[in-house]
């Protein structure tokens, strides 16, 4: 197993974060300082981070959280704002799978499995995410829906076609599999309807359901299997 993947599986950080930790010279294998994240780690190797032993793979856990507005989607915040990780009391080192803007609410996942987090958020795996969007300047007409379905030209390129369903004169459900910064808001602004409220209601096969704001639940083995199956067509 590569060193960065080993650290991610041990819950140290996401795979990308683990790569940065290794390159910073904070990791040793035995007595050797290692800076190559691709270095192989064998069953007999002793790995240490900042002088502390890194145990082998820990049990994988994933939590579904209903993020309230005003909570940041990070493990810690230098400005002292409340973080989504603080909503789930756990002795494990958890970190969010992707991000939601501070004013966006709804379903976000927390895990100690860096490899799973990487696969769920990387564009190559095309994991769909569905949002309920309340829009300004109603009613939302068919021309705007058609533009979203075709793909919208943004300053960082054209978006992939979205799935869109109108549920009220000012409300749509919109599914995308990309993860650009403020993508939903920029798409809707581009078709003439600035976003008033944004809530993520589905992540891959998982639904927010009746989970109340600020509450969480641990995913069942069946749901973990569903997440894994959602990635099987993208090795």
- What would the DSSP string read from start to end of 176-205? E----TTHHHHHHHHTT--EEEEEEEEETT
Same fold, 62-123+206-230 and 128-203: yes
Q: How confident is the model at residue 57 (pLDDT cuts 50, 70, 90)?
A: low
Specify whether 101 is catalytic: yes
Average predicted confidence (pLDDT) for the chain: 91
Mean pLDDT of 107-111: 96
Name the pTM for this structure: 0.77
- Among the options 50, 101, 113, 156, which is catalytic? 101
The three-state DSSP-derived secondary structure of the chain is CEHHHHHHHCCCCCHHHHHHHHHCCCEEECCEEECCCCCECCCCCCEEECCEECCCCCCCCEEEEEECCCCECCCCCCCCCCEHHHHCCCCCCCEEECCCCCCCEEEEEEECCHHHHHHHHCHHHCCCEEEEEEECCCCCCHHHHHHHHHCCEECCEECCCCEEEEEECCEEEEEECCCCCCHHHHHHHHCCCCEEEEEEEEECCEECCCCCCCCEEECCHHHHHHHHHHCCCCC
The region of weakest confidence among 15-29, 44-58, 67-81 is: 44-58
Percent of the chain with pLDDT over 70: 97
Phi, psi angles (nearest 5°) of residue 47: -110, 135
Mean pLDDT of 198-206: 96
Work out the burial of residue 43: count CB atoms within 10 Å of its CB; fewer than 13 is exposed, 13-18 middle, 19 or more buried. exposed
Mean pLDDT of 8-27: 88
**CA dist., res. 102 & res. 131, Å (int):** 15
Asked whether 19 and 38 are in contact (CB, 8 A), the reply is no
Mean pLDDT of 90-114: 92
For residue 80, pLDDT beyond 60: yes
For residue 235, pLDDT beyond 70: no
Give domain 128-203's CATH number out of 3.30.70.1560, 3.90.550.10, 3.40.50.720, 3.40.50.2000. Answer: 3.30.70.1560
Give domain 3-53's CATH number out of 1.10.630.10, 3.10.290.10, 3.30.465.10, 3.40.30.10. Answer: 3.10.290.10
What per-residue confidence (pLDDT) applies to 58? 66
Please state the domain extents for the chain.
3-53, 62-123+206-230, 128-203
For residue 99, pLDDT beyond 60: yes
Asked whether 71 and 82 are in contact (CB, 8 A), the reply is yes
Residue 9 CB neighbour total at 10 angstroms: 20
Looking at domain 62-123+206-230, does it have CATH number 3.30.70.580? yes
**CA dist., res. 161 & res. 180, Å (int):** 14
């Amino acid at each position: 197993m590569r060193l960065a993947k080993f650290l991610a599986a041990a819950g140290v950080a996401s795979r990308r974060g683990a790569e940065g930790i290794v390159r910073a010279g904070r990791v040793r294998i035995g007595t050797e300082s290692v800076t190559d994240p691709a270095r192989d780690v064998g069953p007999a190797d002793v790995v240490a981070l900042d002088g502390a032993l890194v145990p082998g793979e820990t049990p994988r856990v994933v939590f579904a959280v209903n993020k309230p507005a005003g909570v940041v989607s990070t493990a810690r915040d230098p400005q002292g704002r409340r973080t989504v990780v603080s909503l789930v009391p756990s002795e494990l080192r958890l970190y969010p799978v992707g991000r939601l803007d501070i004013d966006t609410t709804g379903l976000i996942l927390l895990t100690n499995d860096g490899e799973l987090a990487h696969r769920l958020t990387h564009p190559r795996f095309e994991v769909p995410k569905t949002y309920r969007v309340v829009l300004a300047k109603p009613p939302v007409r068919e021309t705007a829906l058609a533009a979203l379905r075709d793909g919208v030209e943004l300053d960082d390129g054209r978006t992939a076609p979205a799935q869109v369903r109108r549920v009220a004169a000012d409300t749509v459900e919109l599914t995308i599999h990309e993860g650009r910064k403020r993508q939903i808001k920029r798409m809707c602004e581009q078709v003439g309807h600035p976003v008033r409220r944004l809530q993520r209601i589905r992540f891959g096969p998982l639904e927010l359901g009746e989970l109340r704001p600020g509450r969480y639940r641990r995913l069942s083995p069946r749901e973990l299997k569903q997440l894994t199956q959602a990635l099987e067509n993208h090795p």
